[in-house]
Structure 1
Amino acid sequence: MWLLSNVLFEFTIYLIVDNITKFILINTKKENRFDVFLWECLFLGFSICFITVYHHTTFILTVFLLLHIIGILHTEKRLKLTINRIKLFIHVFLRLFQLTINCLYNFISNYTHHYSSSKVLIAKKLPEKYLYSYHLKLTNDLRLQQSSLVQLLPRPGILKLHETTCSLNILLQSLASLNSFYSSLQRNINLSRFNYDPIVSTFLDLISQLRANHHTTEYKHANTLVGLSSFISKLSTIYPDLLTKPTTPDIAELFQCITDALNHFSVIGQVHNQKLTTLSLDFLNRMYIETEAQLHNKVTVDNIDAQTSYIIQYIDLTWLLHHIQLGSILKHTFSGQLLHAYCCNKCSHVRFCAEPFQILILPVSKTTITLEQLLSQLTKIEDVDSISCSYCSSQTNQDLERKSTVIKNGTILTKTIPTLSPLVNTHIQPFDQAVSSTANISIPLSTHTSNLATSYKSDRMKCQTLIANFPSILCIQLKRLFYDPVSRTTTKLNTNIIIEPEKILDLSHIHYTTWLGLIDSSMIIPARYQQTGICLNSSNNFHSSSMNQTNSNSKQYVCLYRTDNSQWFLSDNEHKTEINEIDNICRTLCVTENCYLLFYERCS
């Protein structure tokens, strides 16, 4: 009975308000219909609030009010406008809510990090030489995007000024074949907005000419040679002795010099955790110190699964800071990262060292081998004698301190503590520096301490190298040349390295996530590469019928390169030859014995 009376009461109020509104509209035509309906809705809303507060909850009256509002909006043809405004209001509200949540998250993260890692920051300060600075430039070179520069047919040859430019010619032909490298130049260089070194514009003109489009009707212009005098003159101002030597410079050394000279481009870091790319440089440095301290002497073979997140974060931070230090899109394109894992045979502690590389150097033995097998040997576990375990060293120092105080003839001998070099330098190192150290033990002054020190030997360690981050363009150098300091001669190994240029090279199995046992597809980064260039180091003309052993004192270089339409060409400085069966060519001794520098582009 009470519920029925409430329903009748609410329905009566609605009828009264609705009829009063209709009476006003019939007798007063000057009033705006929508304004009258608006006053009606306001009065109903006030009635609902008043009755709800002092008597009961008005469900029926609320439903009638909503239906009345929808009917009025539909009658007055303002329903679509109202819906659009409601959508706009919801969008603005959600955006403000999202910004508020992000601000709170950043504030809480900074607050907790500030108080949780204060001791670590005070104990370990990042050295000045490891501080980094950003060199970000949003550039775009429009002249490189012209449709007339799209590569369809073979490129023109390069005029060889003298014998020492042979390696430079072949290297430039190979670089011009790299589509992703050329695309990065298009996106990141704008000569009209920024001031670059003169060598940058000269290099752009040279690459543009080498990738010039030769239409079928203008194929005769394909024999036009491209001059290098301007580029060589500007390169000689930076490296005066590079191309003035009596012998041809090594193509790998020349590639490194060019990347150093063109160090004026922007950089973008590639990491697993994309949130790290949004953090400030100071915050990244603090995270690096904290992560390094977390891994120091805490990772063993038994608990490595529990430390996986710290290992991944350590690699991400070193990779990001390395790219900020480079400051070059050119180096970023060719730059990768190695991860060295050192495991002590005695205490089972594992230490890590991240090392950047731009050229992946693979040693060549005297046995015929495929390139895939040679890459698999990169992860081979090796025993290391010259690196000492820091955890074992700290324990040994404590033992020697207790035992070195020996009483002899009524006197106390001076304590002798061995000075052991650390396991590895975990800071970022240049790729050409060796990651090794030798343990040096100070010589004691007595027989007892001498026997004690000589009885101690640094424990052997196991070392394994994996790929931490893959480059966009993989440059592989086959280490065929060996220098003998006694005879002062360079010898070359003519070992057969079998290459399959049409086969996709998959390197996912040598990534560090595979070593950690991560099977989550989101954590495994695919690494599939397609070969685009092969630089051969040969002392004879590639076009000749005889292919004898090469003389390193008179190096001659030729290259095989792939065009945009997957057609292969042979370039021997001023000569170019179309290759129809590249697989058969790569099986010949002239390729397997002389392949030296290989270029691979990462498949999208």
Structure 2
Amino acid sequence: MWLLSNVLFEFTIYLIVDNITKFILINTKLFQLTINCLYNFISNYTHHYSSSKVLIAKKLPEKYLYSYHLKLTNDLRLQQSSLVQLLPRPGILKLHETTCSLNILLQSLASLNSFYSSLQRNINLSRFNYDPIVSTFLDLISQLRANHHTTEYKHANTLVGLSSFISKLSTIYPDLLTKPTTPDIAELFQCITDALNQSLSKQKLVYSKNFSVIGQVHNQKLTTLSLDFLNRMYIETEAQLHNKVTVDNIDAQTSYIIQYIDLTWLLHHIQLGSILKHTFSGQLLHAYCCNKCSHVRFCAEPFQILILPVSKTTITLEQLLSQLTKIEDVDSISCSYCSSQTNQDLERKSTVIKNGTILTKTIPTLSPLVNTHIQPFDQAVSSTANISIPLSTHTSNLATSYKSDRMKCQTLIANFPSILCIQLKRLFYDPVSRTTTKLNTNIIIEPEKILDLSHIHYTTWLGLIDSSMIIPARYQLTGICLNSSNNFHSSSMNQTNSNSKQYVCLYRTDNSQWFLSDNEHKTEINEIDNICRTLCVTENCYLLFYERCS
């Protein structure tokens, strides 16, 4: 009896639990079904009755609205919502009109990742006593870069001030940022790098630790030699190349040409061990060939800014770079070999003349271009013996009698910089009318395309097909400085009225996001390719920054 009652009790409990479970499951399915029906009904109703209506977005607070007050950014194509974000980030406080170019330049420099990493790696403020401009510059770049990483606008609502940096820069260049004038952004870049070079050169950097320098030296043994030994080798190499290289035997002199470039490259970096020089400087190789005797001489010239002349024809940047190697006729330079031969002939003839009836005066040969001592940054180094003045100044001292002996010149890149700065030479100054004319030629730039400059390297010109001899030179565009000025009156090429020049820049951050910087505002760019196809960019691109790909 007890067993039977126990079984009945358990069976009753089972039925109760089973019914409760079924009830819960059935109601859950009904609840989900009800929710799905309501969701579908609301969605269909909303789509049916509101698809033809225009949605009106709430207006943004006035403090967040971007003011397109510059002429360049007044173009409606730059204000399309598909191209730019509506919420800009703050930029640099513009103290007065003359700081416009400085603001834009600093925004561009702050976007250069390799440059900033190099500064952090090589500048030790606790160990070395630098000029105050170095610490101020480093702090300024750090503030600008911190703003790039901010994901929300409300966390980046402070303008960066320049008053401290300007005061320190003015002690070195008192007239650079005077209020009546606006400095050219390329000239300003050169002045800032020169000022930092002078301070950073006091820290003895070893160029052998910088791969951008030693990585382009073909004979690595040269990097271990002392300065005195390098100078002696330079003299010997000059002697080997002087008046001995012709078009016919240039293949036999290849090893000396390569050694000449290696030596000039190393001597160039030893003379001023600044990290800025290691970062921005490259080296050109000018080859001069005489039409009369076919002798070839070489001249190495360091550069921080690669200047490309702009014509009146629409052209791509790659085509413009290819024109750098175009062979041109030069009238202002005479052949040292032909001059020496002529001098010898004149001396022989003068000994025949009796009683001084005919006065013979020998015509001097080329003035020196460079000596074997350490050279200033802006000087060129030539394979012509006994040379000691810059390439840019030696042509005025040439003998006019030999201008008829035309020479051909071809320019190639001998050494590539870590960061390539390209200046598109749009401005031309007329000293008579005191007017600067700007060419609004369309220069087509592809911002996402890798720029390969291997084809204009001197090894290609020498026909060196060995892969170990070819230096890779692939660059990525990081910054575009735009000059929106028109024709204007000025007292010089680089100093103009403050209202004549207006600058903005486009720059890439380390996460490949592009920004449009207009002094106190920075606006995020959604479609950089479309922006770069507008006339605002193609007609006004002026200073470009390319970072070398690793």
Contact 2:379–2:390 at 8 Å: present in 1 too? no
Contact 1:199–1:235 at 8 Å: present in 2 too? yes
Q: 401-410 or 331-340: which moved more?
A: 401-410
**Would the alpha carbon gap of residues 354 and 250 (structure 1) be closer, same or farther in structure 2, given more than 3 Å must change?**
same
* Cα displacement (A) at 1:209: 0.4
Contact 1:418–1:441 at 8 Å: present in 2 too? no
* Cα displacement (A) at 1:97: 86
**Would the alpha carbon gap of residues 409 and 150 (structure 1) be closer, same or farther in structure 2, given more than 3 Å must change?**
same
Q: 1 CA distance for matches of 2:417 and 2:515?
A: 25
In the other structure, the counterpart of 2:446 is: 500
Q: 1 CA distance for matches of 2:48 and 2:250?
A: 27
Matches within 5 A, 1:424-503: 458-503=404-449
1:423-480: per-residue Cα shift (whole Å, max 9, x none)? 8889876665699999999999999999999987641111000000000000000011
Runs of 4+ in 1 over 4 A off after TM superposition: 1-28, 95-156, 213-218, 264-270, 405-458, 540-553
**Would the alpha carbon gap of residues 268 and 508 (structure 1) be closer, same or farther in structure 2, given more than 3 Å must change?**
closer
Contact 1:139–1:188 at 8 Å: present in 2 too? no
1:459-506: per-residue Cα shift (whole Å, max 9, x none)? 111100000000000000001111101011111111111111111000
Higher relative contact order (CA 8 A, sep 6+): 2
Q: 512-521 or 379-388: which moved more?
A: 379-388
* Cα displacement (A) at 1:402: 2.1
Contact 2:421–2:546 at 8 Å: present in 1 too? yes
Give SS of 2:105's match. Answer: helix
* Cα displacement (A) at 1:539: 3.8
**Would the alpha carbon gap of residues 341 and 547 (structure 1) be closer, same or farther in structure 2, given more than 3 Å must change?**
closer
Give SS of 1:192's match. Answer: coil
Q: 1 CA distance for matches of 2:42 and 2:399?
A: 52
* Cα displacement (A) at 1:222: 1.8
Q: 422-431 or 379-388: which moved more?
A: 422-431
Alignment length (residue pairs): 538
**Alignment gaps of 5+ in structure 1:** 29-94
1:72-131: per-residue Cα shift (whole Å, max 9, x none)? xxxxxxxxxxxxxxxxxxxxxxx9999999999999999999999999999999999999
Q: 2 CA distance for matches of 1:210 and 1:199?
A: 17
**Would the alpha carbon gap of residues 99 and 364 (structure 1) be closer, same or farther in structure 2, given more than 3 Å must change?**
farther
Q: 2 CA distance for matches of 1:159 and 1:534?
A: 20
In the other structure, the counterpart of 2:510 is: 564
Contact 2:437–2:486 at 8 Å: present in 1 too? no
Q: 591-600 or 131-140: which moved more?
A: 131-140
Q: 231-240 or 515-524: which moved more?
A: 231-240
Q: 264-273 or 551-560: which moved more?
A: 264-273
Match for residue 407 of structure 1 among 353, 365, 376 = 353
Contact 1:383–1:461 at 8 Å: present in 2 too? yes
**Alignment gaps of 5+ in structure 2:** 198-209
Q: 396-405 or 432-441: which moved more?
A: 432-441
Q: 2 CA distance for matches of 1:435 and 1:496?
A: 35
Contact 2:288–2:410 at 8 Å: present in 1 too? yes
1:116-171: per-residue Cα shift (whole Å, max 9, x none)? 99999999999999999999999999999999999999974100011000000000
* Cα displacement (A) at 1:326: 2.4
* Cα displacement (A) at 1:282: 0.9
* Cα displacement (A) at 1:272: 2.2
* Cα displacement (A) at 1:376: 0.4
Give SS of 1:405's match. Answer: helix
Q: CA RMSD, aligned part only?
A: 24.2
Q: 2 CA distance for matches of 1:155 and 1:224?
A: 9
Contact 1:336–1:358 at 8 Å: present in 2 too? yes
**Would the alpha carbon gap of residues 269 and 195 (structure 1) be closer, same or farther in structure 2, given more than 3 Å must change?**
farther
**Would the alpha carbon gap of residues 408 and 99 (structure 1) be closer, same or farther in structure 2, given more than 3 Å must change?**
farther
Q: 2 CA distance for matches of 1:391 and 1:127?
A: 74
Q: TM-score, normalised by structure 2?
A: 0.73
* Cα displacement (A) at 1:223: 2.8
Match for residue 367 of structure 2 among 405, 410, 421 = 421
Give SS of 1:502's match. Answer: coil
Larger radius of gyration: 1
Q: 1 CA distance for matches of 2:376 and 2:49?
A: 34
Q: 2 CA distance for matches of 1:583 and 1:23?
A: 62
**Would the alpha carbon gap of residues 309 and 15 (structure 1) be closer, same or farther in structure 2, given more than 3 Å must change?**
farther
Give SS of 2:251's match. Answer: coil
**Would the alpha carbon gap of residues 128 and 485 (structure 1) be closer, same or farther in structure 2, given more than 3 Å must change?**
farther
Contact 1:169–1:573 at 8 Å: present in 2 too? yes
**Would the alpha carbon gap of residues 598 and 139 (structure 1) be closer, same or farther in structure 2, given more than 3 Å must change?**
closer
**Would the alpha carbon gap of residues 592 and 447 (structure 1) be closer, same or farther in structure 2, given more than 3 Å must change?**
closer
* Cα displacement (A) at 1:353: 0.5
Contact 1:362–1:479 at 8 Å: present in 2 too? yes
In the other structure, the counterpart of 1:140 is: 74
Contact 1:344–1:462 at 8 Å: present in 2 too? yes
Q: 2 CA distance for matches of 1:211 and 1:139?
A: 23
Q: 2 CA distance for matches of 1:291 and 1:105?
A: 85
Contact 2:70–2:502 at 8 Å: present in 1 too? no
Q: 1 CA distance for matches of 2:18 and 2:140?
A: 83
Q: 2 CA distance for matches of 1:569 and 1:524?
A: 35
Contact 2:96–2:179 at 8 Å: present in 1 too? no
Q: 2 CA distance for matches of 1:425 and 1:127?
A: 65
* Cα displacement (A) at 1:247: 2.1
Give SS of 1:486's match. Answer: coil
1:175-219: per-residue Cα shift (whole Å, max 9, x none)? 000000011011101101111000111111101100116776753
Q: 1 CA distance for matches of 2:33 and 2:127?
A: 34
Q: 1 CA distance for matches of 2:378 and 2:220?
A: 29
Contact 2:459–2:469 at 8 Å: present in 1 too? yes
Give SS of 2:247's match. Answer: coil
* Cα displacement (A) at 1:306: 1.0
* Cα displacement (A) at 1:240: 0.8
Q: TM-score, normalised by structure 1?
A: 0.67
In the other structure, the counterpart of 1:87 is: none
**Would the alpha carbon gap of residues 17 and 118 (structure 1) be closer, same or farther in structure 2, given more than 3 Å must change?**
closer
**Would the alpha carbon gap of residues 359 and 393 (structure 1) be closer, same or farther in structure 2, given more than 3 Å must change?**
same
Percent identity, aligned pairs only, is 99
Contact 1:136–1:267 at 8 Å: present in 2 too? no
Give SS of 1:465's match. Answer: strand
Q: 241-250 or 188-197: which moved more?
A: 241-250
**Would the alpha carbon gap of residues 578 and 152 (structure 1) be closer, same or farther in structure 2, given more than 3 Å must change?**
closer
**Would the alpha carbon gap of residues 550 and 125 (structure 1) be closer, same or farther in structure 2, given more than 3 Å must change?**
closer
In the other structure, the counterpart of 2:339 is: 393
Q: 1 CA distance for matches of 2:359 and 2:44?
A: 53
Contact 1:154–1:563 at 8 Å: present in 2 too? no
**Would the alpha carbon gap of residues 283 and 196 (structure 1) be closer, same or farther in structure 2, given more than 3 Å must change?**
same
**Would the alpha carbon gap of residues 520 and 103 (structure 1) be closer, same or farther in structure 2, given more than 3 Å must change?**
farther
